[in-house]
Structure 1
């Protein structure tokens, strides 16, 4: 049977952060394009030893650097996809001389905060990619201090591909803090208004992408493709240099007193508090304001709402600060890909 590059090859299911996952239809060609650009953008060579930490069923587990490493003749090491243990991670890196890895921000924070990080030889690491949500400034600083010879690259992508649509090189980690970076070499990325026009710097719009790596559509569903452009449903703004700053899903935006609040920005600031491990913010109905922000905050140390509000006032406008806080020691509900399942966060807050 003849097989062509345009034949359907893969149904890559989305994370399902807002509900039921959808099957993104990929061809041999889209998968190859998604892999090949990573060789160039991330300097993958035949000496690469890539450690797969995310589950292979997640787009990033199978399609971020793993296939690119194999194409270049490097080596891929698989680790258990559940029950992440920092000590096991350190031992694997040292024993296998791992050169690159992808760690979501919450896992990266655990790695850098572990007291045993200095007991292992991690000198082989040249590259850590992190994405799925913004990397806190404190985490970037910890990575630079503890792993000075390893570049931390922040990435943004989708199961719809490219899985590393945007990336922020380590050289811009400070100057462009909070940014997801600029388009990869295999994609055009724009931020547009509701009429499809490019937004001015600083103005929030929707991220759209055109790439030979992008899916054909969703299996059995209408595809969010217009003229070859994928509508991501993610909100963002660009700066004068073309760096993209993701605000979050359009469905997650909170309108309080007529003002727009983007949870990703608020979550990023909350997560920088030294007593906080992670946080999720959702909008809840309010008779006076229409909606208000409600935050589920996972803490490592004792923290009160008043203490957190005082901290946030130094970084955020008052209207952006959540009106309700729920503190917990239980990790946030996440998908296999590590993304927060906001609808379950909302259920937790309603029950609590």
Structure 2
């Protein structure tokens, strides 16, 4: 059985619900019929395993059908972020090798008019399935080429850690242009799980959908959870079997708030290059409000830390079937070879992965290396801190100094707060510049670009002194 083909899934799960979107409910059989029609339409447009497609990945049933049709036919597909400007989309398309630009809504009309008789196609595990764009928070986006084996291995690893049960329904409010959103679709194909699709993330809509559509699983980025928790007066989040939290660092204060509210929020760690999560906490971990790890490496994942310091921190390397083929236009990665994630972390005494941050985010101040996430963790633990982002700025004496952007609750003094946090920080880790802002800007997928913050805020930063305690 090809775990990425809707035709195979429909044979096993024929009358189970596959897609729920507002008043629309498709069974696996109905989704298969539409996908086969779309496959026929794509073939008539010249799409093939040798010539892929690209499309704006709006959160719509027609986009889901386009993904299913491409997977069925072995056509490489590149989903474009729906929030990109026209120029951003054009730049992304220029990176791809002669793609056919498809409108999923028009394709849906073509599939409705087709005979829905599509040729069978065999795709091997190394066949290219998707081309996804990295977030580009520290550099220009790259095109990640993911083979079919990566999606299959990722789904299998997830299931080993969090087995599906009958009646599971997974809320899809993440962009389908990101591997986190796309993987919800590919996991459903192999497990018979229903997808509950929402057009975008909205707090009230999400909470109402969880109740009305009997959602059991959800994926969120960390920034979504505080908004949901503060509006969840009826405890609807507690009804979920699990909430996977990824795409950015999962701050300690949000973990605590989730645990205190009884929400089974599981920290995950993964990359586009590894086809989603490669380490995830287990359900019991959600009860520990003090945990800072991302769980143990999942089934089929090998991970190692190339330690360069006495504290056990080092670059994270991984290998396994879920690792990409490589970046488009760059040498491929040997199957089974090690991938440098570009992240820094360590294993704790229980063998769980603790991710500190990006290696290229490291601040070098007076010869000392400072990982921004370390400083953010201590600042975020202070009462009154709503959000925090730490980054490096140039300094004529120290090379760089630590700077912090703070979102504070009303009535809190930033200098008093920083002095309080300084007790837990080595002198070289203490912020020497700061600014209070209304919000911290993020990329469309919820990630903070420290470089962009440094560039935009440098001229407005205020100096910070710790007086006699600064030793």
TM-score, structure 1 length as denominator? Answer: 0.88
What corresponds to 2:279 in structure 1? Answer: 166
- Superposed counterparts of 1:184-195, under 5 Å: 184-193=298-307
What corresponds to 1:138 in structure 2? Answer: 253
How many residue pairs end up in the alignment?
A: 339
2:212 alignment partner, one of 89, 95, 109: 95
More helix by share: 2
Native 8 Å contact 2:256 2:290 kept in 1: no
For the aligned residues, what is the CA RMSD?
2.3
- Superposed counterparts of 1:49-128, under 5 Å: 49-63=169-183, 65-81=184-200, 84-112=201-229, 114=230, 116-119=231-234, 121-128=236-243
Shift of 1:175: 8.0
What corresponds to 1:340 in structure 2? Answer: 448
1:152 alignment partner, one of 234, 247, 265: 265
- The structure showing larger relative contact order (alpha-carbon pairs under 8 Å, at least 6 residues apart) is 1
Q: Distance in 2 between matches of 1:284 and 1:120?
A: 43
Shift of 1:301: 2.7
Structure 2, unaligned stretches of length 5 or more?
1-120, 461-471
Shift of 1:5: 2.1
Q: Distance in 2 between matches of 1:263 and 1:225?
A: 32
Shift of 1:187: 0.6
Shift of 1:223: 5.4
Q: 1:78 to 1:222 in 2, by over 3 A?
A: same
Q: 1:270 to 1:52 in 2, by over 3 A?
A: farther
Shift of 1:128: 0.9
Q: 1:100 to 1:263 in 2, by over 3 A?
A: same
Native 8 Å contact 2:345 2:353 kept in 1: yes
2:386 alignment partner, one of 256, 277, 283: 277
Native 8 Å contact 1:162 1:211 kept in 2: no
Q: Distance in 2 between matches of 1:44 and 1:93?
A: 17
Q: 1:320 to 1:302 in 2, by over 3 A?
A: same
Q: Distance in 2 between matches of 1:260 and 1:181?
A: 25
- SS at 2:406's partner residue? strand
| Higher Cα radius of gyration | 2
1:238-295 C-alpha deviation (Å, 9 max, x unpaired): 2232222212111110111221110011122223334333222111111222210111
TM-score, structure 2 length as denominator? Answer: 0.67
Native 8 Å contact 1:275 1:303 kept in 2: yes
What corresponds to 2:438 in structure 1? Answer: 329
- SS at 1:105's partner residue? coil
1:96-125 C-alpha deviation (Å, 9 max, x unpaired): 11111112111112211x2x3113644531
1:180-233 C-alpha deviation (Å, 9 max, x unpaired): 221011210111147xxxx88x41111000111100100012457797000111
